[in-house]
Homo-oligomer: A and B are copies of this chain.
Amino acid sequence: MLAAVLQIRAGTLQVLLWQRAQEPDSGRWALPGGRLGDDEDVEASVRRQLAEKVDVRDVTHVEQIAVFSAPHRVPDVRLVATAFLGLVPSDADPAVPPDTAWHPVARLPDTAFDHAEIIRDARDRLRAKLSYTNLGFALAPRVFTISALRELYVAALGHGVSATNLQRILTRRKLLVPTGGTALPGPSGGRPAAEFRFTDRALKVTDAFAVLRPPPGPGAAGCGVGDSPGGGTPIPVP
């Protein structure tokens, strides 16, 4: 069980790594992880391990990436790892043990085993979900300005984002609400920015399938669990 904990620090997407002191791959940087306990599922286990070993309690989101199982991904022993993506809001600065440190995802140090691949997959998952879910809540502080949020998106996505359109998209989807407060302007002046927060702080898919979408039912458009067992008329007008 391995966790790629990502956070935007100093405008850069970084990952928490741990420097191995023993062979194999001594000296290289590895993802934190541990073994599954008897009375927990894998998600709970990851959260527990992060809280215990790394003192990261403000993990706002945890999700499975994939199982990594190449036969010799770790020398000598057979180890199958379930990899996770964990996110920490940008205003948290958790105390980490002395042998751990944050590293920019774009400029990884020498990493152990297949951990670089895991980190890339975690980053890609984050980038994809920023686009069609409200996952931004997991990167941002509880309260923030649009330009601060824009910087987080830029750092996570690796490309420019327009503050104008970011606000409109998130507002249209009702993910963002103004708190009413405003932030103080910088030393060089400028209009004070309005403060916002995310309406939810749990993952919500906002933009499922952009294409081949179901025809708009008159009332509800939900995709229930069991539907359309009949094979005759394919159109599911209720």
Contacts and interface: CB of A to CB of B under 8 A. Distances in A.
Contact of A210 (B107, B132, B154, B223): B132
Interface stretch (A23-31, A86-94, A182-190, A211-219): A211-219
A231 B160 contact: no
A185 B210 CA distance: 34
B78 A154 contact: no
Contacts of A41: 69-71
Interface stretch (A32-40, A51-59, A137-145): A32-40
A210 B66 contact: no
* Interface SS, A side: loop
A175 B161 CA distance: 30
Interface residues of A, number: 58
Contact of A207 (B10, B80, B211): B211
Interface of A: 10-12, 36, 38-42, 45, 64, 66-67, 69-71, 78, 80, 82, 104, 106-107, 120, 127-128, 130-132, 151, 153-155, 157-161, 166, 169, 207-215, 223, 225-229, 231, 234-236
A234 B70 contact: no
A215 B166 CA distance: 13
Contacts of A154: 234
